Structure 1
Amino acid sequence: MPELKIEAQRILATLVGNPEADFHEGQYEAIAALVDGGQRALVVQRTGWGKSAVYFVASLLLRARGAGPTLIVSPLLALMRDQIAAAERAGVRAVAINSANATEWDEVREALAADRVDVLLISPERLNNPAFRDRELPELIRRTGLLVIDEAHCISDWGHDFRPDYRRISELIAGLPGTVPVLATTATANSRVVTDIEEQLGSEVLTIRGSLARESLRLGVLRLADSRDRLAWLLSHLEELPGSGIIYTLTVSAAEDTARLLAEAGHRVLAYTGRTDNADRESAEQLLKNNQVKALVATSALGMGFDKPDLGFVIHLGAPSSPVAYYQQVGRAGRGSANADVLLLPGTEDKEIWKYFATASMPSPERATAVLEALAEAGTPSGVLSTAALEARVDLRRTPLELLLKVLSVDGAVQRVAGGWQSTGNPWVYDRERYRRIAQSRVDEQGSMVDYERSSACRMEYLALALDDPNAAPCGRCDNCAGQWFSTELDGKAAQAAEESLHRLGVPVEPRAQWPSGMERLGVLIDGKPAKGKISMGERAVEGRALARLTDLGWGGPLRELFAEGAPDGPVGQELLRGCVQLLKEWGQDGWSAAGRPVAVVSLPSRSKPQLIGSLASGLAEIGRLEYWGELSLVDGGPTGLRGGNSAYRLAGLWERLVPGPELSERLSGQTVLLVDDLVDSRWTLTVAARELRRAGAAAVLPLVLAQAG
């Protein structure tokens, strides 16, 4: 046996805690290519195969030969935490630099300088952090003994739109000395993605690809009529599922609502979403690993990097938008056990959600041009603008603005510097063909997911073929191969509980408390001075209510239809009106936020849904035995701009364009009024309207809207 293999097996035994451990097919070949050959390698192997063992063993072997530390580019904090824990078991000194451990950065830098680090983990975004990029990265590249790109499919799929900074990795590779080995690993790459990764790794790439079928997984699809039945199925059968697991949903609100329903029924579950605090996420992950909860009800925020070898099941309430994404998520289950159950409960709303997310992250040429022009025209001496300053110059919300800046930065048109962003002066051309191609591939993937749901062929073989696995074959375990393994019965009490949960009323609408930055540029003045700082308590609304979110599983369905693009205006439906009446009743029982019972209803004028708002406001007034005082008046044609813009532009478009007319103003003195609108998004319309009503004499303003976006 070669001496290198003996040494590698000794490290592997320590890593896995088994003196008899041996390499899986392809593991040692990858290690030898990196350590002896200094090659560039791509490893495409199923989850649980042991890709991390390859780079940890190779790192220690290279370090023993005098190489510098390994640099691992990793996409998620959860992934980094698990990788560091695994490294420690093998005696690998691993550290990370990320947004969650800023207090440890100085210690990490000292350890790097003293050569006490074997592995450094960073996110792709760290490559564009000015301090790290300019001060630390050049020396790190000079010393790096091995570069690892974990979850390398992100180079292709995320790098093209969702995580633009993954596209920087090709530049990082190009800057490495030719003798430094490079390893890319993934479990979810079809032939298109493999080719893309190989091109970015450079010439003469060794690709080691194994079978992607997961023998431990038992797959199934259960098509139910609606959200009520899907939730009822969970209530009826959750405790029958093996061990502990993950329940995936497509939206944050669905995860939170499902977790609440299950918890109220006595199930030990927690919600896990992008809104969950980092510390709470870490705690929830540990509780699941310890089997102290039956399930985490999660969005895709819980994905790559979460490692629980004995995870017993994965359930999906709603389907991911592609077989590849689905394979990646179900791959959390059965990594270290012989059996795990995977069940998909597709929803009628899935296609609407896919459509939104398919293109939401792609830049538009108009927005990109606006950002570039704003930076070119920056009045600061260095031409640097912070993201907040850009929001007062470009009508884009913070998250899409930051994403667009990353795209422009990767394309070389702007650069991130201390204090913000700066134009490079380089021309930028919108790559229409590339984004058209990406958009079409998303549509094709969605069609493939629908085919998976309806297919009578082997489920695992279908997923393997979607990943272009040449070894794809029937599994003999899924519902199509071996027959339905799950019950379809719904307990009557469970169905009733699900029905009540879906029709639960009311989402709090928090009042705005702070004016946006940069209002002096947009002419929003209060007493001759730019609106700035806190909004006066005497000019705020109290906490309001929305009947539901557009993304809710229950009321969200009819509300999405009502506000769909091109949906006609008309009187409010009786079911929605009754829901609002019941919401008001419950709100009143809670004390109307200490504001007192309203004496009248006031509505906001609408150019798109005048019948809807008018009938809702007058209907509530009649049923609630309140007076209807009409709507606010439009000034100079009313608000400008569209929904979806950032706070600064939205406020500027509303400022002094909604006022109570003389007749309404005469009635307001000392009165509490109910302010009715159809859809709340940024909350600035309600904020401006409430301010005008309060300034005209209203003692309190209680906002009530049909739907809350998001």
Structure 2
Amino acid sequence: MTNDDLPPTDRQDLRTAADAVLSRLVGAPSGAARLREDQWRAIEALVADKRRALVVQRTGWGKSAVYFVATALLRERGAGPTVIVSPLLALMRNQVDAAARAGIHARTINSSNTEEWDTIRREVAAGEVDVLLVSPERLNNPDFRDQVLPELAAATGLLVVDEAHCISDWGHDFRPDYRRLRTMLADLPPGVPVLATTATANARVTADVAEQLGTGGGSDALVLRGPLDRESLSLGVLRLPDAAHRMAWLAEHLDELPGSGIVYTLTVAAAEEVTAFLRQSGHTVASYTGKTENADRRQAEEDLLANRVKALVATSALGMGFDKPDLGFVIHLGSPSSPIAYYQQVGRAGRGVEHAEVLLLPGKEDQAIWEYFASIAFPPEEQVRRTLDVLARAERPLSLPALEPLVELRRSRLETMLKVLDVDGAVRRVQGGWISTGVPWTYDTERYAWVAKQRAAEQQAMRDYVTTTDCRMEFLRRQLDDDEAAPCGRCDNCTKPRFTDSVSPAALAAAQGELARAGVEVEPRKMWPTGLPAVGVELKGRIPAGEQAAPGRALGRLSDIGWGNRLRPLLAPQAPDGPVPDDVANAVIGVLADWAKGPGGWASGQPDAPPRPVGVVTLASRTRPLLLRSLGTRIAETGRLPLLGSIGYTGDITQVSRSNSAQRLKALHGALTVPPALVEALGQADGPVLLVDDMTETGWTIAVAARMLRRAGAQGVLPLVLAVQA
């Protein structure tokens, strides 16, 4: 149907009905609210013309109003339920509440409510559900894909792809599960409208999404792309000397910021550090990361929505879908690696207030963190080919735990790769695991190289954003290919800065003290990974208590903004070897002293305190022999302990240092040796020993070394390392 097929009077009636639904949605008197012109154009295309539409509009513009109003109108005309593919549970919760205000009955299908799936399917079949929200991960669940998805495709009256930039690997938040939408789109009956929405997409991402969803190119689709200025946001950058200055500034100035808001960090460790320090400084804040339990996440969201906390200190786990119209500020301690990702996060603020503060406090560690996340991107071709070959030879489906030992990839990276291969048709997820389809597959070297190049360009753009003397909002809008970008007149470059970089000596001293606090517990491995016999290592099940390491200690995490900043350059692959620096050695001695005197320590005075260590053993290192030898010597001399010797290597394990647990253990098995002199010394040692290493990433080197030491006669093994890779 075209515009000419529906008389103007009918379209006017449709517009009147649409405004009435909007009024219910926002809680206004009937007809008091009126759609934006582009909102109406999208609704008209979906309801009257049954077209496909791609809407790229800034956060807070009202994209959800488009699909809720369209849903109400389509349902009144007898259409089936709207299916919304939505990436986050937080978004789903908000959407269900919003739909209810408009009299729309919404339900969700996601990993947290599997016990309700059958009931929801019956409600959908009975026509009782107006909106069904599903997570993209459901699209590749075998039961859902093969049983539920065909039913939905046949019955749906409108398909909505929310946060559609996730479908593009050019975007900042690529999710391969989203590409399963191609299957659902192909199965939709003719004339079913499709709406894709996003707030964070430049021209390249927009074109990619449009192509993949069939909402661009030669299709009869409506693409609505609006200006991305947010008139409520005042952008600024504060360049402070180090992490201590940034934390001190935040502690001193947090109460000056309007309302409540979000403090973003780049890592989980940083979020936890900052939360602890702000609480000690008297602020009411909560941590929100990928490691936060679901119940705690919901509580944190509710506390922020109700202004019971001044801020959530969050990683990117708090992003798409969190909607607080009166959010007064967004602060970043560290730069995101992409202007698009940065714009998406700052867009949380100022939706329903006239003024919101946005401040970026970049850190020297940002580049190292960007590089780490880049290192876990799509694997190189030889690893992909290896996985395909293993699946092709398998006689049955292989689960992730079964497949992991056979390929040199960690589970999370392996799963992401398989999802991409599934979309490309080379593998398929079935009951019991993954199988090869036998369909030829080509490694798109050119595309992956372009993606890597794009990532590098985005990182440079963030550095340029920090140093630019031009309008910051205009800079961000141009990065998102906003043709209407112009100076905002509000940022710190358009006007004078609203905040100084001053920090009081007391606040700085407190922050320095917090960041100088050393010591992280190192949990021992207690179970061997599954599938070791498949790679020729006859170990399985629980590690016997008499062969385990005890809980240990590390000076810090490499992702910390305190000791992490000191340890990263020291332990970088290209760093020169040399004796342990005095400040690092003294800090390790401090960790050892705190460990001894702390709860359960050998010097705690508690009746059940363990024995004092009676010697020091180091792990030999090919890359840092001087560092480890000097560290072991300093610990032994300070603690007045004998340096008993060193565990050596007989094999080469460097090529799988970032591999999965099974492959790591395969490389370690038989590669470590306890020299005879050390065996003799252990036989004479009447107590546990300290096992000293530079870094632990997976914990398996410590686990294997501890097992060997215990078998050689050590009465206990206490790991002590410089850094945890986390």
TM-score by length of 2: 0.94
Task: Please state if 1:3 is matched with 2:13.
Answer: yes
Report whether the alignment pairs 1:580 with 2:588. Answer: yes
Counterpart code for 1:260: A
Match of 2:629 in 1: 614
Query: Which stretches in structure 1 are left out of the alignment for 5+ residues?
Result: 526-530
Residue type at the aligned position of 1:374: V
> C-alpha distance in 2, partners of 1:12/1:639?
62
**Alignment partner of 1:434 out of 447, 452, 460:** 447
CA deviation after TM superposition for structure 1 residue 610, in Å: 1.1
1:69-108 to 2 correspondence within 5 Å?
Answer: 69-108=81-120
> What is the distance in 2 between the residues matched to 1:190 and 1:411?
25
Structure 2 Cα separation of the partners of residues 160 and 186 of structure 1: 12
Residue 190 of structure 1: aligned partner: 202
For residues 335 and 602 of structure 1, the distance between their equivalents in structure 2, rounded to whole angstroms, comes to 58
Cα distance, 1:354 vs structure 2: 1.8
Amino acid at match of 2:501: T
| Matched letter for residue 16 of structure 2 | I
1:528 match: none
Q: Which secondary structure does the structure 2 equivalent of 1:482 belong to?
A: coil
Q: Once the 2 structures are TM-superposed, how far is the Cα of residue 152 of structure 1 from its aligned partner?
A: 1.3
8 A contact 2:172–2:340 mirrored in 1: no
Q: State how far apart, in whole Å, the 2-side matches of 1:549 and 1:419 are.
A: 37
Listed as ranges, the matches of 1:134-533 within 5 Å are 134-157=146-169, 162-202=174-214, 203-378=219-394, 380=395, 383-525=396-538, 531-533=539-541
- 1:709 offset after TM fit, Å? 0.5
Q: CA deviation at 1:61?
A: 0.7
CA contact (8 A) 1:162 1:361 kept: no
**One-letter code aligned to 2:430:** V
Q: Which residue of 2 aligns with 1:47?
A: 59
Contact 1:386–1:421 (Cα < 8 Å) also in 2: yes
Pairwise CA distance, 1:696: 2.0
Are the counterparts in 1 of residues 170 and 205 from structure 2 also a CA contact under 8 Å?
Answer: no
Residue 697 of structure 1 deviates from its aligned partner by 2.0
Q: 1:638 to 1:565 in 2, by over 3 A?
A: closer
Tell me by how many angstroms 1:685 deviates: 0.8
Q: Distance in 2 between matches of 1:354 and 1:675?
A: 32
**Per-residue CA distance 1:497-517 (angstroms, 9 max, x = gap):** 110111111111101111111
Q: Secondary structure at the match of 1:316?
A: strand
Q: Deviations over 1:392-426 (max 9, x none)?
A: 21121111111111111111110000010000011
The residue aligned with 2:669 is 655
Q: 1:293 to 1:189 in 2, by over 3 A?
A: same
Cα distance per residue 1:457-492 (max 9 Å; x no partner): 111111112112122222211111121111321021
Q: Secondary structure at the match of 1:481?
A: coil
- How far did residue 174 of structure 1 move? 2.8
**Which residue of structure 2 lines up, in the alignment, with residue 133 of structure 1?**
145
- Give the direction of change, closer, same or farther, for the CA distance of 1:409–1:161 in structure 2 (3 Å limit): farther
Letter of the 2:249 counterpart: W
Cα deviation per residue 1:115-172 (whole Å; 9 max; x = unaligned)?
1111111122211111111111112111110011111112224779841122222332
Could you list the per-position Cα deviations for residues 174-219 of structure 1 after superposition, in whole angstroms to 9, with x for gaps in the alignment?
3322300111111112222222222223212111222210001111
- Tell me how far apart the structure 2 counterparts of residues 606 and 232 of structure 1 sit (CA, whole Å): 38
Structure 1 residue 604 corresponds to structure 2 residue 616: no
Match of 2:601 among 592, 601, 606: 592
Give me the whole-angstrom Cα distance separating, in 2, the residues matched to 1:506 and 1:550: 12
- Deviations along 1:99-129, whole A, 9 cap, x unmatched? 1222221221121121111111112221111
What residue is the counterpart of 1:17 in the other structure?
Answer: 27
SS of the residue aligned with 2:554? strand
Q: 1:637 maps to which residue?
A: 651
1:656 positional shift: 3.5
Identity percentage over the alignment? 59
Match of 2:4 in 1: none
Q: Per-residue CA shift, 1:646-669, capped at 9, x if unaligned?
A: 111211222243243332222324
- Deviation by residue 1:619-639 (Cα, 9 ceiling, x = unmatched): 1101111110110244x4365
User: Partner amino acid for 1:7?
Assistant: A
One-letter identity of the residue aligned with 1:243: G
Q: Match for 1:623 among 599, 615, 638?
A: 638
Task: Measure, in 2, the Cα distance between the counterparts of 1:25 and 1:348.
Answer: 45
CA contact (8 A) 2:612 2:687 kept: no
Match for 1:323: what amino acid? Answer: P
Cα distance between partner residues in 1 of 2:54 and 2:433: 36
> Which of 658, 666, 676 does residue 680 from structure 2 map onto?
666
User: Is residue 553–residue 719 contact of structure 2 (8 Å, CA) maintained in 1?
Assistant: yes
CA distance 1:708–1:660, shift in 2 (3 Å)? same
Instruction: Deviation per CA, 1:77-97: give whole Å up to 9, x if none.
Output: 111111111111111111111
Cα deviation digits, residues 217-243 of structure 1 (max 9, x gap): 111111111111111100111111111
After superposition, the Cα gap between the structure-2 partners of 1:53 and 1:161, relative to the gap in structure 1 and judged at 3 Å, is: closer
Please tell me the residue identity of whatever aligns with 1:563: L
The 1-side partners of 2:509 and 2:455 are apart by 37
8 Å CA contact 2:149, 2:184 repeated in 1: no
TM-score, L = length of structure 1: 0.96
Aligned AA for 1:612? L
| Partners of 1:209 and 1:523 in 2: CA distance | 57
CA drift of 1:523 comes to 2.5
Tell me the amino acid that sits aligned with residue 118 of structure 2. Answer: D
Distance in 2 of aligned mates of 1:633 and 1:188: 52
The count of residues paired between Structure 1 and Structure 2 equals 701
Which is worse superposed, 410-419 or 584-593? 584-593
* Secondary structure in 2 matching 1:170: helix
SS in structure 2 at match of 1:198: helix
Aligned twin of 1:109: 121
Q: Distance in 1 between matches of 2:266 and 2:704?
A: 33
Partner of 2:80: 68
Equivalent-residue separation in structure 1 for 2:203 and 2:655 (angstroms): 44
Structure 2 letter corresponding to 1:543: P
Matched, 1:537 2:549: no
What amino acid is the match of 2:547?
E
Q: CA deviation at 1:359?
A: 4.8
CA distance in structure 2 between the partners assigned to 1:495 and 1:640 by the alignment: 41
* Matched-pair contact (CA < 8 Å) for 2:619–2:628: yes
Q: Quick one: which amino acid aligns to residue 263 of structure 1?
A: R
**Aligned equivalents of 2:80 and 2:414: distance in 1?**
38
1-structure distance, mates of 2:383, 2:53: 38
Q: Distance in 2 between matches of 1:218 and 1:183?
A: 31
* Cα shift at 1:640: 6.8
Structural RMSD (CA): 1.5
